[in-house]
Structure 1
Amino acid sequence: MVLWPQGADQPINAARAAASGAAITVDAATEIAAAVTKALDDDAYRDRARAIADEIAQRPAPAAVIAEITRSSR
């Protein structure tokens, strides 16, 4: 991923994505082309993003979490 955070929580989220190895952040439009080229040429970004997606897929579905919270609160 190439991320160009603009404001609010975007800089924090972009920094976390970059720290995970799944993203490159840019600060200016002039940096986008080089960042996209780097992301496409370096398989590590794709591999790390895929690993994160796999981790997320192993988590319970939101509906299951809500059902468990509801059940537990009775």
Structure 2
Amino acid sequence: MIVANYTAHFYCDCEACEEASNLEQAEYIGESWAQVAKRARKGGWRISADRTRSFAPGHKVKRNSPSKAR
């Protein structure tokens, strides 16, 4: 028998959490990334489209504005 799972640790990337020493974090376990992401979103976490940033429930989403080309 083979048993496999996928574990993801989410850390909040909002400005308040980045400045604090006590980061908001959570762990979700599932059989795939899709299942883990669905569970995290159901728990209120926001995940960026490129899967590089996450934001805890109720925390302000930090948007990176593109620099203007001159």
Q: So what's the TM-score if we normalise by structure 1?
A: 0.27
Q: Which has the higher helix share?
A: 1
Of Structure 1 and Structure 2, the greater strand share is in 2
TM-score of the pair, normalised by structure 2: 0.28
| Structure possessing the higher relative contact order (Cα contacts under 8 Å, 6 or more residues apart) | 2
